[in-house]
Each structure stands twice: as C-alpha cells, then as structure tokens.
Amino acid sequence: MRYASTILLAVLISGCSDSHPFSPGATDDPNKPFRNLTILVDVSGDPSTGPQQFGTFVDGTLFSNVNPNNETRFAVSNGKHTIALAPFLGLSGWCINTSPNSFTEGLSGDVITRIVFSIDCPALDGAGVLQLTVSAQGSTAQARVPLTLIRLNGSPVTRSISALANGVSVIDLPTGLYRVQLDATATCEPNYILAAMELSSRTIAVRSGGQSSFALSYPCPT
C-alpha cells in the first residue's frame, strides 16, 4: 500500500535549470518510476510580485522549476535526500521565507512524501525610504554621482537622482524591488565599468513604511 506524509517548510527562491539526477515529470505508469515526492511552493501575499517559477535542489544539485501555488509530483530514488529551494536571486529578493529552507528525510519508492515550502511575496502597496550612501573618493571625484533607480517588479518605476558623494541621500520610493544603476555620465573611467558591473548583481527591497539602506563604493583616480 502507498502512503503519504506531509512536511511543511518555507524557503528562498530563484530559477534554475532542469539538470538533475532523478526524473521530474515521470508518470505513474507501472513501467516507470513511481512519483514519490510532491513539492508545493505556497506563496501568500501577491504572487505576481515575485518570480514566475521557483528552482528546486535535490542533494545540492539543480533539479526542476516549480510554479507557485501548484503542487507538482516527481520521482526520486529511494534513500535519504535533502530537498530545498534555491537562494535569493532576481525577483526572489522581494519575497520573505517564513520557515526553514530545506528538508532532509529518507524517501521510499512506495510512499508519497509531500513538502510545502511557504513564502510571502508582499503586495506593492504604499511607499518606503531608501537611504543611499555613496563613497566616491579621489581628486577626480564629482560632488554628486548620477544614479538611476529601477523597480524590477510590478508596473515600471524609474527614478533618476544625483546622489551626494561621500554622504547620505534619502529617497522616498514606491514599495518594490529596485536595482541601482550608475549612469554613463559618471566620471572615473575605468572605475565606472567596474562599479556598474558590481551594481548589476545587487538589488534592494523598499518596503511599505520602512527604511532600507544601500551603500556604493566608487573610488576615483587621484
């Protein structure tokens, strides 16, 4: 007889490839592996503010993408395995995990193990404050550094600012996940290229009624 067990978890998120050692998507055809694992990414709040899919890991290896609020079954080999969702990347930085992010347990070919990863992706309501600290040192540094703030989720929001170098700029923004982009008009070549590349991988969440901090170091030649 086949049984089912349920594990409730919450976890971080990101997309991933379909490279894996098992067989996600296998049917329950008797000639194929029994799908003994189900994964549900239970997203509360407003799922549209987060990523369209969540990547899963099995034993540290990229496994499969899972749609939010849609339970999916997989076939995994018998034995002890660790199942988790991937770390924060991209839009996942807006969402918040509400309990542990991985599960380790023995899986059996004739027992269905059900895992529920629970996260919250808040709605884009209200406004918050971004405290932006820029360190631009060197004799060629400008008094102000041109930056553009770009919201990555929800309707587009773009804010161009002239941030105070070697000081703190306080900016009111609609809630959302933002990328800070260094404008091409900034000086200090080739430091501009290096700083722009570093910024492209960073995001900052501005939440309703809260204050977020973001620091940028921008050394200039002397």
- Condensed to tens digits (0 to 9), the pLDDT of residues 58-75 reads 999 999 899 999 999 998
Q: How far apart are CA 156 and CA 177, in angstroms?
A: 11
Helix (H) / strand (E) element for 84: namely strand 79-85
Q: Which residue has the higher pLDDT, 12 or 122?
A: 122
How confident is residue 196, by pLDDT bands cut at 50, 70 and 90? low
Q: How far apart are CA 146 and CA 148, in angstroms?
A: 7
Encode pLDDT of 116-136 as tens digits: 999 999 999 999 999 999 887
Q: Which residue has the higher pLDDT, 23 or 105?
A: 105
Q: Tell me the CB-side half-sphere exposure of residue 66, using CA atoms within 13 A.
A: 32
3-state secondary structure of 221: coil
Predicted model pTM: 0.74
CA-wise closest residue to 164 among 119, 98, 88, 215: 215
Q: What is the pLDDT of residue 217?
A: 78
Q: What is the pLDDT of residue 3?
A: 45
